[in-house]
Chain A
């Protein structure tokens, strides 16, 4: 629905209100997990040889590992790191998508250039491109963030480009041009306000991808270095101990990662419903 007046209206239907509460709930849940990392110190994940290989208990809800480190805090730290990587990657991706989609609105030449770039990047599997970029940049947080950012912009760019194309052909944009308005004026007053919801939802929906891919390539050994408390590292290390029956090393961090991804996905989809009722 293009002509719908889109805004978050607290007095509107029950439906909207329900979705709004869902979103608030999800955001709280997410903040609890993501921000907890800021308060977790080194001492909480220190090796403690007296408490090795403990299965889950009240003291250690996620158990401990082969060095006696508390898995609950390690998992939280891992999620915190994933969230930060996701945040940077999603910001860069969104900026790339916005820039390219605006570029494509200039003329046919730029449009086909951008479309070609989109098709090119979409034709390479994410993981392959990601591994290549991360590898070339020497791994680490920088490699991963840039890798994810540069592989995840195409689909959002495509959505934004289509949206701009539609706005661009509308009568009110033509009229603005005939009233002597500059390209920048039209971007600022016609394009950006209508792109804002898409941009925001796209940004949020980039997180789950970024987080899963970060974990995946870290797990495969191309990503974050082993000293970093990433979920991918936790999982790949834990694989060795899985055969020894220490299931909790894999199950809880894995489920937490999954939970985080689900939260973001639900958040993105609910935001989309709220901002764009149809």
Chain B
């Protein structure tokens, strides 16, 4: 890599984390994602992928190490440049809201995002329990494309849906990401899916294993 590219990366530097003091979940994780790049990551259930996703999107602080966004630590009060899309959209949307409010929440969203994601006008007046998971997930994805977003972490975002929905969602997501030069970390158990969407695939256990000796 040329040196200047280093400034446009989401970097995990020597990340370590435990929930329980006596038991490191992982240590010495090094990972970097460039703008515009899609990285797929898979690994055993319970190995800590979601935890790493939360650390990268600033939901959790790493026990050791640091996450750098384009070379710097981001501040907390602004829109965070790394947005996490969750596995269960029905938990990611306030059940009392009409869905139009999602667009109010992510207020400066580009006009064309809803149509690219296949969001229908008539869904806007409904509440979360009146839509299917696949339909809801499109809103969660749309919301993640705030103009300030530079990286997206997609944690099993389509694993609940059928193949067609899965394909539609990823098709739209890849288009949006490429247009906006956003870096993506896609977490999934479906290696075949990852092969189709990713520029590069990482085995999370290997990522962990690479550092195991230094425990």
Contacts and interface: CB of A to CB of B under 8 A. Distances in A.
B91 A5 contact: no
Interface in B64-114: 77-80, 83-84, 86, 88, 90-97, 101, 105-106
A194 B97 CA distance: 10
B57 interface: yes
B92 A180 contact: no
A180 B78 contact: yes
A3 B79 contact: no
Say which size band chain B's interface belongs to: 20 to 34
B78 A172 contact: no
B27 interface: no
Interface string A183-227: 000000110011000000000000000000000000000000000
Interface string B37-70: 0000000000000000000011100000000000
Nearest to B130: A5
A192 to B, nearest CB: 10
A175 B58 CA distance: 11
A171 B129 contact: no
B95 A5 contact: yes
A178 B58 contact: yes
A251 to B, nearest CB: 48
B94 A172 contact: yes
A179 interface: yes
A5 B105 CA distance: 20
Interface string A156-194: 000000000000001110111011110000000110011
A274 to B, nearest CB: 16
Contacts of B106: 179
Nearest to B106: A179
Given A3-B129, A5-B127, A179 B92 contact: no
Contact of A180 (B77, B88, B95, B127): B77
Given A3-B129, A5-B95, A190-B94, A175 B101 contact: no
A70 B97 CA distance: 54
Given A5-B129, A172-B91, A178 B96 contact: no
Most chain B CB within a 10 A radius of its CB, from A2, A170, A179: A179
Contacts of A170: 91, 94
A178 B59 contact: yes
Contacts of B97: 189
Contacts of A176: 105
Contacts of A189: 94, 97, 101, 105
Contacts of B35: none
A24 interface: no
Contact of A175 (B90, B92, B129): B92
Interface of A: 2-6, 170-172, 174-176, 178-181, 189-190, 193-194
29 contacts: A3-B95, A3-B129, A4-B95, A5-B95, A5-B96, A5-B130, A6-B96, A170-B94, A171-B88, A171-B92, A172-B91, A172-B93, A172-B94, A175-B84, A175-B86, A175-B92, A178-B58, A178-B80, A179-B80, A179-B83, A179-B106, A180-B80, A180-B148, A189-B97, A189-B105, A190-B94, A193-B94, A193-B96, A194-B96
